[in-house]
């Protein structure tokens, strides 16, 4: 018989140890696989049932800033504010030399007084012209009486001449008397013509007075001292001059902080020049640029939680979605993307979403335009 070789004790121990290691590895891999599978299941459940928000850190503080401009031209006499200074609505920011506008106001006031006096003079002229028309009536009556008197004298002279002509034929009167009667008739005719000319002149004078009265009445008809066109034009000029005088003091349009002041005392400004900006720090908003794939369930009115990089997680703001921009950032870029090319690569676009902040929170923790924010929209409310 041949002897059977028995395995060495240390070889058996190594084999057992290797089997134990394989068993442990298999168990560990099983545990890892179970954990990964559990995580996937949990993520799927969260995505389907509990994913009620979308978040972006591509969000920045904005505001409807006001560019302070001058409405009148002139030299800056005084600047009362500086950059970073807080101002209230109606507070004077700067003053422009008002001497030129004060002169314009005085001139406009004088023109208004002159226009009112001209109206009064025109009204008085109407009264005088009315009296003149009345006097012309008396003149016409007098001229008519003179014409009648001259006509009577003419008729008498004609009768006397006719009677003497009959008597001359019989030799009852001399030719000298006939000649005298003829002269009287000629004088009567001249007197009659003169009386008629006087009557015509009186009537012409009356028509001229009536025309002047009508023209004068047309200037003031249907108006009074304050509604006549000349007075209204003068009043408008005075209002414009007073408005220009008021505009020499440039005031803050609302509460805010002064930024980008570019004006100094002594500079000459013209209408439309931007002198400084006022930022309404109590009326700030946030423009959050969400990916287009995140906006499916975002609606105006939904609540938003925001965290500023300025204060960190210690301060949390609450806001409200108020609307969406009319286009993506790339659509409104100075040089829009040209996607109609052969080397096109799809890039996920972002759409700005306007979020209104709570004024009370802004008062407690002020922000500034351009600061970064992280915005999370609550989708649980549709």
From start to end of 29-153, where are the E strands? 53-62, 66-69, 74-79, 86-87, 92-96
Q: What is the pLDDT of residue 108?
A: 93
Q: What is the pLDDT of residue 119?
A: 73
Q: Sort strands 268-269 and 74-79 into parallel, antiparallel or unpaired.
A: antiparallel
| Interacting residues of 127 by C-beta distance below 8 A, sequence separation 6+ | none
101-242 CATH, one of 1.10.10.10, 3.30.1490.20, 1.10.287.620, 3.40.1000.10: 1.10.287.620
Asked whether 374 and 307 are in contact (CB, 8 A), the reply is yes
**Domain topology for 66-96+246-279:** OB fold (Dihydrolipoamide Acetyltransferase, E2P) (2.40.50)
Predicted model pTM: 0.61
SS3 for 314-339, per residue?
Answer: HCEEEEEEEEECCCCCCCCCCCCCCC
* DSSP string over 152-173: HHHHHHHHHHHHHHHHHHHTSS
Q: How far apart are the first and last CA of the chain?
A: 91
CA nearest neighbour of 198 among 134, 139, 131 = 139
Strand (E) or helix (H) holding 269: strand 268-269
Q: What is the pLDDT of residue 1?
A: 44
Question: Tens-digit pLDDT profile for the chain (382 aa)?
Answer: 445 455 556 666 777 777 777 777 778 888 888 888 888 887 777 665 556 788 999 999 999 999 999 999 999 999 999 999 999 999 999 999 999 999 999 999 999 998 888 877 777 766 666 766 666 677 777 777 888 887 887 777 777 777 777 766 666 666 677 677 778 778 878 887 887 888 788 777 777 777 776 766 666 666 666 767 788 899 999 999 999 999 999 999 999 999 999 999 999 999 988 999 999 988 899 999 999 989 888 999 999 999 999 999 889 999 999 999 988 877 777 777 777 776 777 888 899 999 999 999 998 999 999 999 999 999 877 6
Q: What is the pLDDT of residue 2?
A: 47
Q: Where are the domains of the chain?
A: 66-96+246-279, 101-242
Please name every residue paired with 278 in a beta bridge, in sequence order, or none if there are none. Answer: 66, 258
Q: What is the pLDDT of residue 51?
A: 62
| Interacting residues of 142 by C-beta distance below 8 A, sequence separation 6+ | 202
Helix (H, G, I), strand (E, B) or coil at 375: strand
Between CA 305 and CA 309, with CA 306 as vertex, the angle to 5 degrees is: 155
């Amino acid at each position: 018989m041949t002897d059977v070789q028995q395995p060495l004790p240390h070889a058996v121990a190594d084999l057992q140890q290797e089997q134990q290691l394989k068993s442990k590895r298999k168990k560990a891999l099983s545990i890892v696989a179970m954990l990964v599978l559990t995580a996937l299941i949990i993520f799927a459940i969260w995505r389907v049932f509990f994913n009620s928000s979308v978040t972006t850190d591509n969000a920045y503080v904005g505001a409807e800033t006001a560019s302070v401009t001058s409405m009148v031209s002139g030299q800056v006499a005084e600047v009362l504010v500086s950059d970073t200074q807080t101002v209230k609505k109606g507070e004077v920011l700067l003053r422009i030399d008002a001497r030129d506008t004060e002169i314009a106001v005085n001139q406009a006031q004088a023109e208004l007084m002159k226009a009112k006096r001209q109206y009064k003079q025109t009204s008085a002229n109407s009264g005088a012209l009315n009296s003149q028309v009345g006097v012309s009536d008396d003149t016409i009556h007098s001229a008519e009486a003179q014409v009648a008197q001259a006509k009577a004298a003419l008729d008498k002279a004609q009768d006397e001449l006719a009677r003497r002509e009959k008597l001359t034929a019989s030799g009852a009167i001399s030719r000298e008397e006939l000649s005298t009667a003829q002269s009287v008739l000629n004088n009567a005719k001249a007197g009659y013509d003169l009386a008629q000319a006087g009557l015509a002149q009186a009537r012409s004078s009356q028509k001229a007075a009536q025309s002047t009265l009508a023209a004068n009445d047309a200037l003031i008809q249907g108006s009074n001292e304050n509604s006549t066109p000349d007075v209204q034009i003068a009043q408008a000029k005075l209002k414009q001059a007073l408005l220009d005088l008021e505009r020499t003091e440039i005031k803050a349009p609302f509460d805010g902080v002064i930024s980008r002041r570019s004006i100094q005392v002594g500079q000459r400004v013209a209408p439309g020049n931007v002198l400084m900006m006022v930022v309404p720090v109590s009326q700030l908003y946030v423009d959050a640029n969400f990916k287009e794939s995140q906006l499916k369930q975002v609606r105006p009115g939904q609540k938003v939680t925001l965290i500023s990089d300025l204060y960190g997680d210690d301060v949390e703001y609450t806001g409200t979605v108020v609307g969406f921009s009319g286009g993506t950032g790339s659509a409104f870029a100075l040089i829009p993307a040209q996607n109609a090319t052969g080397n096109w690569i799809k890039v996920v676009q972002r759409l700005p979403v306007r979020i209104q902040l709570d004024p009370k929170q802004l008062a407690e923790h002020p922000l500034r335009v351009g600061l970064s924010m992280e915005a999370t929209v609550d989708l649980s409310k549709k």
